[in-house]
Chains A and B, each alone.
Chain A
Amino acid sequence: MERNYRILQEKLYHEELENGLSVYVVPKPGFKKTFACFATKYGALINRFVPYGEKEYIDVPLGIAHFLEHKMFEMPDGTDAAELFAKMGLDANASTSHLLTAYLFSGTANIREGLNLLLDFVQTPHFTEESVLREQGIIAQELKMYLDDPNEALHLGLMRNLFRAYPLRYDVGGTLESIMKITAEHLHKCYRTFYHPSNMALIVVGDIEKIMAPASNPLTALLDLIKENQAKKNFKKPLDIRKNILVEDGKVNRASDYAKMDISVPKAAIGLKLPYEKYNKNEALLTELKLKILLEATIGPMTDAFQEMLDLELINGNLYYNVCCDGFCGFVKVQANTNKPKQFVAYIKNKLLSLSDIRFEEEIFNRFKKATQGSFIRAMNSPEYIGYNYLRYLFTDADMFQAIESFGNLKIEDLQALERYFRADSLADYVVLPKNFLFSKIQ
């Protein structure tokens, strides 16, 4: 199926293969680089499920999706997929988030070989107790690296305050304790359940004429290559995956908390919790965009509030905000470096609560709509951006291109529909302080 997006001037082809794998192709004529991403709709959100072919729910240790991602690179013949990619001159990588696990590569030549390798290494699980043991050492160092990062501490602290049980409260990588409990058998169960082609998608972004040269119909040739690869493998019939994600309402777990680290400048974050809701197609993505506009218009650099925060020395420079709506729950996060964490937190909470009654001038509203359109057209320069985000949003049931284009029809009333989120009991904060800071004395 071919879709044309007039405003973004992009094209997308989609086909679902016989084994259930969804394949997407975005042609980028003239680009030297091709980006391919093969992802499963499985990430750190899922820690309780019925394994493929079994009947009972099992609980698996935190961090297992990420652990599995690490182990996938090991091939049954003892070679390492990342090295095989490197030998072809391709850059391979992988990432795990709460929503998805993505395996990706980019390069300028050997793309057909790279696509075969991408499909092959992800579709040949190979785990031994010995290699699991070695990986525990590597991942433990990765987790320790994050433990010294005050931004990570701030984020996780805030998530723990927002959520009682929803897995966003845990690091994607798990904990130093939980990863030690992971066994090869756990990995096999997760793999069998979540790496079935019907739970996965593949996207290729690049100059397909160049990739498939001299084929007269490069798109068909590309799809044939993928189909041939899949035809060589046997997959069991797809089953509905039974998983249990502990979603929750909008009330925060704990309103406020802090930690101390060996740092010099305090950091503070304020979170707004988005309760579990059922989202229609494209709606999770549009909710993220709408919330971003609300934040920009309320505390962004073009507001008087931003200047006021600088004048009152509530922030030490940039204000960072982050919006996540994963199709189940979500959050808004606002953070800054600040020497007056208490005042900063109070100021931002107050601003966020003011959004329970949204008043927008038409002119400002249109300016933001125009800017959002512009920023997405700029992002279309990047095959990586398109490829990764198309799949990420696909797994929240959105067609990224279509959703962005529909944004032009947004009305002020659509923003006002979000007023219900901005409640005092949905707000929490978290502060990371230098180790010798006296909390009673902070402002």
Chain B
Amino acid sequence: MEIKEVTLNGISTTLIKTSKFKTINIHVVFLGEFSKETATRKSLLTRVLANSTKKYPTKKALATKLLDLYDASAGVVTYPSGKTSVTVFSIEIVNEKNLGIKGLTKEAVELLWEVIFNPNLENGLFSEKDFLEQKRLLRERLNNVYNNKTRYALREMLKKMAPEEIISVSSLGSLEDLEKVTNEDLVAQYKEMLEKENVSLYVCGDFEEESMLRDLSLLGEIKSQPHEHETVLTEPVRVKKVREYFEKQKIKQAKLIMGFRSDVNSKSELYPAALVFNAMYGGIFASDLIRLVREENSLAYTITSMFMDDVMVLVVAAGIDGSKYQLTTDLVIKQLEYYKQGGINPELLQTAKENLTNDLLQIEDNPVQLINFALKNYLHGLNYTVSELEAAIKAVTPEDVQRVALGVNLDTIFLLVGEDDDGKKL
């Protein structure tokens, strides 16, 4: 495998060459501002752009084109990193070498160009039919968040924990903001993306550099501005008092979400140690929380911790019996205290490192993960290779893990609980 960074028409371009995949993946990434004001517009914009183009003005035309490219898969997504919105236009095709044909990559790049630069505009506005249709679908998608109880509980916890902070904003958008979005707003947002955002390109697969660059140059002159929004938050938030919130719904299993503040982000010296801490605490199957909560006390089928390294937040999530709320949260809190006092099991430390190493090495077996690893470096201003991060993880000491734990503090607990559960037990 060979990773090479070149500049194509002024755009930072990462070429990942490897012969082991039978596909070519191309990602075009726009970095802009992520905020409460723009989240809903961006969410709607990605839907409208993914729906049709000038040349393929209907869903049918676009879907047919993808089928003709040997079932290519194309997509537009947007997600946040700190206060930055990351909007990714991607396409995956079968490598033409594996089909014994020529020109498929060129056609894929042309289609990407269509989706990004040649939207279905009529008199300077998006086709009104598309606009209204996608607005309705996003509205329904937002309504549907309520149907997925774990995701709903996580969103509600973040809203309670940090109402004024960026983490309370969902990249899906909000119903309230959606109603206000006009076609003009959306076109303005689109123009801002083209004029004011930062652009980078990523390609992965088995290709000749020269012909790939020739194909990619079909994307034309792209304006790319220096990126100026925070991609990683750096100011730790102090917890004054732990807050608890409960909501009742007609459900069988309670969803417990615990939000912690951390003083580590992906740029910190302790970043590798934070990955190890998370794995040991609740990130892997052999973790302490799984052992304590699931195996030893049968309190949950699953309990897991996630480290959100761009916003310095750690989340523990579990599905539990509502009456076991106190018991479960006590176990989770006590275990963190144990880490803070230096209770780092060396065997589990080793297991966590091996699991993380394993996950890291596997990145090289998946084109999208390889691209995302390169993108994360670019986004967070890091310069890790997979093996450098692996070495950094291997070097983590029990004291490092303890230092991470000392900076982790419980902030907010949210419990979504069945209506039939006895409130007193809470």
Contacts and interface: CB of A to CB of B under 8 A. Distances in A.
Interface of A: 9, 28-33, 80, 82-83, 86-92, 106-109, 134, 137-139, 141-142, 144-145, 147-150, 261-265, 267, 300-304, 306-307, 310-311, 313, 316-317, 337, 339, 367-368, 370-375, 377-378, 380-383, 435
A265 B143 contact: yes
A145 B143 contact: no
Given A138-B301, A301-B63, A375 B251 contact: no
B286 A86 contact: yes
A112 to B, nearest CB: 15
B365 A31 contact: yes
B358 A144 contact: no
A109 to B, nearest CB: 7
B347 interface: yes
A108 B358 contact: yes
B94 A337 contact: no
Given A87-B350, A367-B67, A28 B251 contact: no
A142 B361 CA distance: 31
Contact of A91 (B19, B143, B146, B355): B355
A374 B71 CA distance: 6
B298 interface: yes
Interface string B330-365: 000000000000000001001100110110011011
Nearest to A144: B253
Contacts of B329: none
A86 B355 contact: yes
18 contacts: A31-B365, A32-B364, A88-B354, A106-B362, A137-B298, A138-B298, A144-B319, A147-B253, A262-B249, A263-B146, A263-B147, A310-B59, A313-B136, A370-B67, A371-B67, A374-B93, A374-B99, A382-B366
Contact of B294 (A138, A145, A374): A138
Given A86-B354, A145-B319, A264-B144, 9 more contacts: A30-B20, A32-B364, A80-B295, A86-B285, A262-B249, A303-B60, A304-B60, A374-B93, A381-B366
B144 A374 contact: no
Contacts of B319: 141, 144-145
A267 B302 CA distance: 26
A378 B354 contact: no
A377 B94 CA distance: 7
Contact of A108 (B284, B350, B362): B362
Given A87-B350, A148-B252, A377-B98, A265 B60 contact: no
Contact of B59 (A80, A144, A307, A372): A307
A13 B396 CA distance: 42
A375 B71 contact: yes
Contacts of B364: 32
Interface in B142-158: 143-144, 146-149
Main secondary structure of the interface of A (DSSP, over half): mixed
B347 A378 contact: no
A373 B137 CA distance: 31
A147 B321 CA distance: 13
Contact of A378 (B23, B148, B362): B23
A367 B63 contact: no
B358 A109 contact: yes
Given A141-B320, A378-B71, A262 B250 contact: yes
A397 B97 CA distance: 32
10 nearest A-B residue pairs (beta carbon): A374-B70, A89-B354, A137-B298, A316-B140, A86-B286, A302-B63, A371-B71, A30-B20, A262-B250, A142-B301
Nearest to A303: B60
Interface string B96-122: 001100000000000000000000000
A265 B59 contact: no
B348 to A, nearest CB: 9
Given A377-B94, A381-B22, A337 B253 contact: no
Contacts of B70: 370-371, 373-375, 377
A141 B321 contact: yes
Given A264-B147, A435-B250, A145 B286 contact: no
B21 interface: yes
Given A141-B253, A264-B147, A87 B351 contact: yes
B7 interface: no
A80 B21 CA distance: 35
A271 to B, nearest CB: 20
B60 A302 contact: yes
A139 B362 contact: no
Contacts of A29: 20
Contacts of A372: 71
Nearest to A92: B285
